[in-house]
Amino acid sequence: MLLSVLERLGIELRPPETPPAVTPQQLLQKSIEQQVQQVKTSTGIELPKYYNPAAMNPARYAEQMQKRRLLWGNKVRTCLCLVVSFDFLVYALAAALLYRSHDLGTVNKNIFYFSVILNVAKFL
């Protein structure tokens, strides 16, 4: 009886629509997984499985790991900086020898040392 009254009024009674196939929680989880994958591809650092990605920012974790690697990683020492700065060191040493001299004998001796240092530096 109620249906006939509603139909006469032009109101159509339909069953409720089916809920959406994807819930908001699933959308949130997918976006978090995408963020984890994006951080992994850009930095190469993966969020460990024992961390909850929803509770932790994967980008911040990757940044911390990069800082940790820089701080505690093996430090490779190169000799390039020594070679580049060797010329400066030679001239600084020679200038210091000339500057520290006060009397004429010491000046002549230091000029000799200066020329020897420069000649040796040419062969290095």
Q: Please, which residues have CB within 8 angstroms of residue 117's CB and are 6 or more apart in sequence?
A: 90, 93, 94
Q: Is residue 115 pLDDT above 60, yes or no?
A: yes
CA dist 75 and 72 (Å) reads 8
Q: For the segment 27-76, what is each residue's pLDDT rounded down to a tens digit?
A: 999 999 999 999 999 999 998 989 998 888 999 999 999 999 888 877 66
**Rounded to 5°, angle at Cα 22 from 18 and 25:** 125
Q: Let me know: does 117 contact 95? Beta carbons within 8 Å.
A: no
Query: CB of 110 within 8 A of CB of 97?
Result: yes
pLDDT at 81 over 70: no
Distance (Å) of CA 46 to CA 29, 52, 118? 17, 12, 54
Structural contact between residues 31 and 37, judged by C-beta atoms closer than 8 angstroms = no
Q: Please say if the pLDDT value at position 80 is more than 50.
A: no
